[in-house]
Amino acid sequence: MKASRQRDLSKRAQTTTLNDGIVAIDTEYLRPLQDASHLIVEGGRGAFVDTGTNDSVPLLLDGLQQQNLDPGDVDYVFLTHIHLDHAGGAGLLMQHLPNARCVIHPRGAPHMVSPERLIAGTIGVYGEARTHAMYGDIVPIEESRVIVAEDEAWFDLNGRAMQALHTEGHARHHYVLNDPGSRGVFTGDNFGISYRELDTVNGEFIFPTTTPASFDPDEAHKSVDRIMACDPEQLYLTHYSRVRELDRLADDMHKGIDAYAELALANKDSPERGARIQDAMDEYLSTRLVNHGFQGDRDAIWSVLEIDIVLNAQGLVSWLERLEKHNG
Q: Is the pLDDT of residue 9 over 60?
A: no
Q: Tell me what percent of the residues of the chain surpass a pLDDT of 70.
A: 97
What distance in Å separates the CA atoms of residue 137 and residue 134, rounded to the nearest whole number?
A: 10
**pLDDT at residue 215 greater than cutoff 60:** yes
Question: With 50 as the cut, is the pLDDT of residue 3 above it?
Answer: no
Distance CA 38, CA 21 (A): 10
Domain ranges of the chain: 15-247
Mean of pLDDT values over 279-299: 96
pLDDT band, residue 8 (cuts 50/70/90): low
Which of these ranges, 44-53, 61-70, 111-120, 168-177, has the smallest mean pLDDT? 111-120
Query: Structure pTM?
Result: 0.93
CATH 3.30.1360.120 fits 15-247, yes or no: no
- Mean pLDDT over the full length of the chain: 94
The confidence score (pLDDT) of residue 318 equals 94
Q: How far is CA 7 from CA 58, 130, 185, in A?
A: 8, 17, 31
Does the structure show a pLDDT above 80 at 312? yes
pLDDT given at position 213: 80
> pLDDT band at residue 326, thresholds of 50, 70 and 90?
confident
Residue 1: pLDDT band with limits 50, 70, 90: very low
pLDDT tens digits, 23-40: 999 999 989 999 999 999
Are residues 37 and 46 in contact, defined by beta-carbon separation less than 8 angstroms? no
Helix (H) / strand (E) containing 184: strand 184-188
In angstroms, what CA-CA distances link 256 with 169, 177, 178, 197, 224?
A: 13, 23, 23, 19, 12
Q: Which residues pair with 26 in a beta bridge?
A: 36
Give tens-digit pLDDT for 238-252.
999 999 999 999 999
Examine the pLDDT at 10 and tell me if it is beyond 80: no
Average pLDDT (64-71) is 97
